[in-house]
Amino acid sequence: MLPALRLHPWAAAYEGLLDDEEESDEEAQPADAAVELMTDQWRPLQPEAAAVVEEVFFVDGVRRVDAGVVGEEEGRLVWGLFGSYGAGGVRCRAGRAEVAEEKIGRCLVLGSHRFSGEVRIETNGGALVYRLLSIADGNHQKVRDALQQRMRQEEGALVVNHCQEREDVLVVIDGPITFIPRFVMGKAPVVGHVKSHHRRYLEWELMAQVMALPWGSRSPLFLIHKERELDERYSWYVRIAQPAAPQHPLVGIVRMETWASIGLEAARRLADLATAIVPRFASAAGWDARAPANLYPVAALEQRLRHGLGEHQWVRRHIEVYLYRQGQQR
């Protein structure tokens, strides 16, 4: 039986849509810049050959804290949240774009490993069904992280379903590829598209070259080291748009990545392919607040998925009514 849940008294600080924390750690991360070229030979690289793929498949997800809650269990507080998430893919081919797949889900995350099942909240038009998701470590951040992980799992499933021995498609993940199963890399070209620059991977002398990249060019590859060799990634920077006069030179620069396990030559070919294709989808200023890094198909998909989550205050009111009625029945 679930504990008596009440609205989190400080939940308003983190309720609503959550930004995609692509690189939340601002500390520098170790990277080897001398993998494709020695550092004294670094220069802008243009794709060596024309990019030819039949399809570009963009994958992204959104998540939202509908309401933060807290309960009591055996003399301790149990933190939790009602959360909604969505994941989808956009297929771009022959001058056309269409949503190929999308999924909306809801979960009630609780910082206790004792609960399973689902919570059904009746509405005038049907019901909001929240799947119970229990985690052993129940602090506030871990509870929110569990919602993000659920969204990432759905994104990963979309990639697996779409990558069935296809070399004529480029799969672009909005964000890092850390949640993508490695076996997928042998089935189709997959890259992560990271918009933010909170982490510094390169020395400042090399970052100066990155900020000076011409449109449609990339930096040489660098290797992001991890404790496990299996987790290492090749990465590169791409100029997808020129910054306006008052903007910082990093505007229009994105970082892309792929698993290092595919090998240096395969990573180089993939970097050229992505560099030749992705800048075509850069969004214009005024169309999206995160332009140009938030690509047109991704921005449109996010808008569609957010609509699918339902209006936040409407959802929250039904959660409030549910919690009130549950309290009255105890």
| pLDDT, one tens digit for every residue, the chain (330 residues) | 788 899 986 666 667 777 765 565 545 677 999 999 999 999 999 997 666 789 999 999 999 999 999 988 877 889 999 999 999 999 999 889 999 999 999 999 999 877 889 999 999 989 999 999 999 877 888 999 999 999 999 999 999 888 766 778 999 999 999 888 877 877 789 999 999 998 999 999 999 999 999 999 999 999 999 888 888 999 999 999 999 888 999 999 999 999 999 999 999 999 999 999 999 999 998 888 899 999 999 999 999 999 999 999 999 999 999 999 987 776
Please tell me whether the overall predicted TM-score, pTM, comes out greater than 0.85 for this model.
yes
Please indicate, yes or no, if residue 295 is contained in any of the structural domains: yes
Q: Does residue 263 sit in helix, strand or coil?
A: coil
Per-residue CA distances from 240 to 98, 214, 251 (Å): 22, 9, 9
CB within 8 Å of 150: residues ≥ 6 apart: 63, 83, 85, 105, 107, 133
Please indicate, yes or no, if residue 291 is contained in any of the structural domains: yes
> Dihedrals φ, ψ of 11, to 5°?
-70, -25
70 has which bridge partners?
6, 79
Please indicate, yes or no, if residue 1 is contained in any of the structural domains: no
- Tell me how many domains the chain contains: 1
Domain of 185, in residue numbers: 6-329
Q: Are 111 and 79 in contact (CB under 8 A)?
A: yes
| Single-letter code of the amino acid located at 236 | W
